[in-house]
Chains A and B, each alone.
Chain A
Amino acid sequence: MTVNPDAYFAVATLLFSLGILGVISRRNLLVIYLSIELMLNAVNLILATFSRLRPDEGGTMIALFMIGVIAAEAALFLAVIVQIYRKKQTLDSDAFTELAQGKRL
């Protein structure tokens, strides 16, 4: 008796949906960042399940690369969050609109 792939796909889909919900519905920059991380991890889980389903280790390889990309993304995003908080004393995502208007941080 083993778990079938549908269950893994269900978990990954739910995790991805939670991530989208966090990005859409919250204004806290930290929550948006963590939601993006959740979505990336959901994609990783889907890739790992594919790789087990084929079975072919190419998916595992892409998932490994994605872990590296997640690390790079985390470093940059957190640096931006810390810098914005230092200048604005807020974690509101509206603080980002000044970047779009060409003002310096």
Chain B
Amino acid sequence: MIEIAIFTLLALGVMTGGLMILLGRRPATHAMGFVTALLSVAGLFALLHQSFLFFGQVLVSVGGVVIVTLIAILTVNLREESLPPEPHATRWLIGAAVVVAPLSLLLYRALTSLGDTFPPVSDTFGGTRSLGTLLFHDGVLPFEILSVLLLTAMVGAIIIGKKEQSYDRKS
């Protein structure tokens, strides 16, 4: 019973965060919605016995990505007039919803056809030990590729974000 209550709360948090991002006007609203959605997803991970994923989500997504997003929002220091004009926002939203609704219904039907009850799992499911064993038995190559990808992304972000590009002076 308490699980259903927590689940409902977290699902409401996810929806609230998503709607704040979708309908909000000011960047601060978007950021708050983003934090709410990510934290609620982390809570859903915890409800699914995925303790390591929960900590990964809290540390990387909430601790890292949200902070970087906030720094970017503060860096650009938006003024109200530099936001793009969206005169037909509601009309666009309704039109897009009409297009997306059947697709999401299809997705839901496809997903729910896979099973309807959670089997019981051992206490170590999703823990650090079992996941680490799996990660270094089956997932070594993706793990290393991911580390190269992160390094590349870091270098790329630094180069893109530089104030003065070297080709600016030549041309």
Q: In the bound complex, how far is the Cα of B62 from the Cα of A74, in angstroms?
A: 12
Total chain B interface residues with beta-carbon distance under 8 A: 92
Give a binary string over A44-71; 1 marks a CB under 8 Å from any B CB, 0 the rest. Answer: 1110111111010110110111011111
Q: What's the nearest-Cβ distance from chain A to residue B132, in Å?
A: 10
Query: What 1/0 flags go to B13-26 for Cβ under 8 Å of A?
Result: 01100110110100
Contact B65–A70 (Cβ < 8 Å): yes
Tell which of B76, B82, B125 touches A81, judged by Cβ atoms closer than 8 Å.
B76
Give Cα A1–Cα B2 distance, bound, in whole angstroms. Answer: 9
CB pair A104–B161 under 8 Å, yes or no, is no
Determine which residue in B34, B84, B121 has the highest number of CB atoms from chain A within 10 A of its CB, and name it.
B84
Q: Is the CB of A5 within 8 A of B116?
A: yes
Residue among A1, A26, A58 facing the most chain B CB atoms (10 A cut-off): A26
**Bound Cα distance A98, B19 (Å):** 30
B89 cross-chain contacts in A, Cβ below 8 A: 25-26
B21 pairs with A60, CB closer than 8 A: no
A11 lies within 8 A of B21 (CB): no
Let me know if A15 and B149 touch, CB within 8 A: no
Write 30 A-B pairs (CB below 8 A) sorted by A numbering: A3-B4, A5-B118, A10-B108, A13-B107, A16-B107, A21-B93, A24-B96, A25-B22, A34-B30, A38-B21, A38-B37, A44-B41, A44-B57, A48-B45, A49-B48, A51-B126, A52-B118, A55-B118, A55-B125, A57-B126, A60-B52, A67-B53, A67-B56, A67-B61, A73-B153, A75-B154, A78-B72, A79-B158, A91-B78, A93-B84
Chain A interface extent, by class:
35 or more
Best-buried of B1, B96, B116 by chain A (most CB within 10 Å): B96
Cα of A1 to Cα of B53 in the assembled complex, Å: 24
- Is A4 positioned at the interface, with any CB of B under 8 Å from its CB? yes
Of all chain A residues, the one with the shortest Cβ separation from B127 is A57
* In the bound complex, CA of A94 to CA of B112 (Å): 38
Identify A7's interface contact among B7, B37, B78, CB under 8 A: B7
Smallest distance from the beta carbon of A83 to chain B beta carbons, Å?
6
A51 to B48, CA, bound (A): 9
Q: Quick check: B44 and A45 within 8 Å, CB to CB?
A: yes
In contact, A22 and B84 (Cβ under 8 angstroms): no
Q: Kindly state the separation between the CA atoms of A85 and B76 in the bound complex, as whole angstroms.
A: 7
- Check if A58 sits within 8 Å of B134, measured CB to CB: yes
The closest CB in chain A to the CB of B135 belongs to A61
The 9 A-B pairs of least Cβ separation, nearest first, read A72-B153, A92-B84, A18-B18, A17-B104, A24-B96, A25-B92, A79-B161, A78-B72, A9-B111
Q: Please name the residue on chain B nearest to A68 by beta carbon.
A: B146
